[in-house]
Structure 1
Amino acid sequence: MTKDQIFEFFRLLAELNPAPETELEFGNVYQLLVAVVLSAQATDAGVNKATRALFAKVKTPEEMVALGEEGLKAHIKTIGLFNSKAKNVIALSEQLIAHHGSEVPQNRDALVELPGVGRKTANVVMNCAFGAETFAVDTHVFRVGNRTGLAKGKTPEQVEAKLEKRVPQPFRRDAHHWLILLGRYTCKARSPECWRCPEVELCSFRKKVLENPKKAKLTAS
């Protein structure tokens, strides 16, 4: 895409959703960090279902450590990889208490040193909690970046680097939210709903689905 096309791409998304937010539910920055760690290879909806009762009880690293690994597992057992995630959440809570005054650090280098926290998780926390202009590349952002031609890359890191270079102001802070939502609800992996996508004219995807298959099936019958 050209610079003008990229600007128009995000302008359209901003027009439809001026204030996008993460769909993870949380009450403070610590709970956000925990929710993002739990969301790896899991849906936001599934994480929210598991954390509602958890977050009603646990709001601080100290309360999480007091709950303990087995207590945490009882809350998150419906989430994939819950055993390893429980271990990481307890360990990162202990590190926050020991090294960060029980506060979530605001920089990426400190965040990625926490157990279970990779670059994507750090980028989400920095963006959602602290307003940093970061680009968290999950499966949705990776797919949309490559499929549309906005930011092509063979790895999430390559797509992130392209987004970092190409996304203009005033769209940088909210860009990854728009891309996640576009990939989750419209530019789906197996069946992209191009016929209702606001970016259909800008998108370089060669196999666009320009007619709703369900509607076509009803018409044919």
Structure 2
Amino acid sequence: MLKLENLEVCYGETVVLRNLHVSVQTGQVVSVLGRNGVGKTTLLKTIIGLLHPQRGTICFEQQDITNLRPEQRAARGIAYVPQGREIFPQLTVEENLQLGLQPLPKRERKIQDEIYEMFPLLKTMGSRKGGDLSGGQQQQLAIARALVTRPKLLLLDEPTEGIQPNLVQEIEEVIRSLKEKRSMAIVLVEQSLDFALAVADYCYVLEKGSVAAEGQPTKIGEDVVRVYLTV
């Protein structure tokens, strides 16, 4: 579904990602791991089109999307949940979800019942402002806002950061349920190693902007991953 080849991304003169090769299959959960500052968030922002690579190509469903704008990528089926959630605090829960529908054709802009089945709390809070929700509730809203587009590829940046354990468990269950349907690919950037390895089919470990290790969680080995996460 997604293939990145020879990717290089810079901030000014600083090279953040270099010679990066990543592949993601339909129905697969791919975890991207590494210390802070190795380029994990940069990778997701490049996939969605917020950053443009200096070199390399991004192919989605065998089509080159390297030069497409973020809204064009969203219309093709890529959804992004950024670090820090970035919901609209002055809008209600329902209004946030309605905004998520914008990439879809007008006739398809309807919040599916499935969204409220995955996140029942949001249905009871539809009229509350996003800014009044707890951090974990805002994270659920951010994921739901991405899922209303029925994406083919979901990008999640630190979904468990700063939220209570019971909601972490709920988010893990949502990822597992999406994975079981085998119709969507998920790229997950996550600091919690246990969480990342528990849901992943495949892992990439970044070091200095390049892939230092990769493989299935059971084959790559938790000890190997921890070497690249230790400060």
- State whether TM-score is above 0.5: no
- Structure having the higher helix fraction is 1
Computing the radius of gyration from Cα coordinates, the structure with the larger value is: 1
TM-score by length of 1: 0.28
TM-score, length of structure 2 as denominator length:
0.27
Q: Which has the higher contact order (CA 8 A, sep 6+)?
A: 2
Pick the structure with more strand per residue.
2
